[in-house]
């Protein structure tokens, strides 16, 4: 997928991807094996995967070929950068009066940026079936609202938190639906759709944790792994996109659905 990138860029991306993988797997290994390492060190290693992914996104944009897809790579790099800011807010590295609501606002902005990026992709590749797009978004939003109602909503919590979480479910559901519509139109975007689905799963677990105080062993690791792997799938699949015709088999499937 990197054949259109020059060799120095491929080397940099390979190094960053290696660091990202080592940080993610290494931190989990240290956590699960109860190695005699300070908890702060493990947490730092775990959280470093987010800024590393920001760097990957910007390298994909800055080092990408001049093929007319630069604006798409830019939007994805921006989306991941805003998400990293959300990680900082939710981790209270930057203190805010209400970190959950602030996190909802920041991550909601990131999802809107991704939605715009996916819409540009659809327009550039001719994946513009309105019926597929709206059906996918409707289904994903319905799943998001159902998960909010079943796993996240807590009548005992502040109304602002419940409403904010619901609005967020609508936004992330729309993002997931757009990713699904792309996958139905071109199977190159299956990774994008899987990434969006993992992002949604992560936020359901995080919402249950934050609003309902749901706890189980390694829930933090489950939230982060599904989140950061989902982000990687989105950033990588869109950032390495090549400007070629949509896959004929998946385009035919989308045509049948529309």
pLDDT bucket at 131, cuts 50 / 70 / 90:
very high
Chain-centre distance for alpha carbon 237: 11
Give the residue among 89, 94, 20 at the shortest CA–CA distance from 51.
20
Q: Are 145 and 151 in contact (CB under 8 A)?
A: no
CA pseudo-torsion sign 30, 34, 37, 40: positive
**Tokens in use for 229?**
């792997």
Q: Are 188 and 240 in contact (CB under 8 A)?
A: no
> In this structure, is residue 26 part of a structural domain?
no
Kindly give, in sequence order, each residue whose CB lies less than 8 Å from that of residue 186, ignoring residues fewer than 6 positions away.
Answer: 125, 127, 246, 247, 250, 251
**Tokens in use for 227?**
């989140």
Mean pLDDT estimate for the chain: 91
CA pseudo-torsion sign 233, 175, 246, 67: negative
pLDDT at position 229 is 97
Give the residue among 172, 194, 180 at the shortest CA–CA distance from 254.
180
> In this structure, is residue 13 part of a structural domain?
no
Least confident of 50-64, 126-140, 152-166: 126-140
Give the residue among 28, 74, 75 at the shortest CA–CA distance from 47.
28
d(CA 178, CA 94): 31
> In this structure, is residue 59 part of a structural domain?
no
pLDDT bucket at 251, cuts 50 / 70 / 90:
low
d(CA 210, CA 190): 30
What percent of the chain lies above the pLDDT cut of 70?
A: 91
User: Taking phi first (over 0 means left), then psi (-120 to 50 degrees means alpha), and beta for anything else, what does residue 66 get?
Assistant: beta
How many domains, in total, are found in the chain?
Answer: 1
Query: Structural domain of residue 141, as residue ranges?
Result: 68-257
Q: What is the pLDDT of residues 179-211, one digit of tens each?
A: 999 999 999 999 999 999 999 999 999 999 999
> In this structure, is residue 99 part of a structural domain?
yes
> In this structure, is residue 51 part of a structural domain?
no
> In this structure, is residue 28 part of a structural domain?
no
């Amino acid at each position: 997928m990197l054949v259109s990138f020059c060799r120095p860029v491929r080397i940099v991306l390979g190094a960053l991807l290696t660091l990202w993988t080592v940080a993610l797997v290494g931190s989990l290994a240290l956590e699960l094996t109860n190695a005699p390492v300070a908890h702060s060190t493990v947490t730092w290693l775990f959280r470093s995967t987010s800024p590393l992914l920001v760097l990957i996104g910007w390298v994909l944009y800055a080092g990408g070929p001049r093929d007319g897809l630069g604006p798409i790579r830019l939007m994805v790099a921006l989306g991941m950068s805003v998400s990293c800011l959300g990680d900082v807010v939710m981790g209270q590295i930057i203190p805010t009066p209400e970190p959950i609501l602030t996190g909802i606002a920041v991550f909601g902005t990131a999802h809107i940026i991704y939605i715009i990026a996916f819409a540009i992709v659809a327009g550039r590749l001719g994946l513009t079936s309105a019926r597929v797009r709206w059906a996918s978004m409707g289904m994903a939003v319905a799943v998001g609202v159902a998960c909010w109602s079943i796993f996240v909503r807590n009548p005992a919590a502040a109304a602002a938190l419940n409403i904010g979480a619901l609005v967020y479910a609508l936004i992330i559901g729309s993002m997931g639906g757009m990713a699904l519509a792309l996958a139905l139109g071109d199977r190159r975007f299956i990774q994008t759709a899987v990434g969006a689905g993992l992002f949604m799963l992560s936020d359901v677990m995080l919402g249950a944790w934050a609003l309902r105080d749901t706890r189980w062993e390694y829930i933090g690791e489950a939230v982060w792994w599904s989140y950061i792997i989902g982000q990687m799938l989105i950033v990588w699949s869109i950032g390495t996109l090549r400007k070629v015709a949509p896959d004929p088999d998946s385009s035919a499937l989308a045509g049948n659905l529309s």
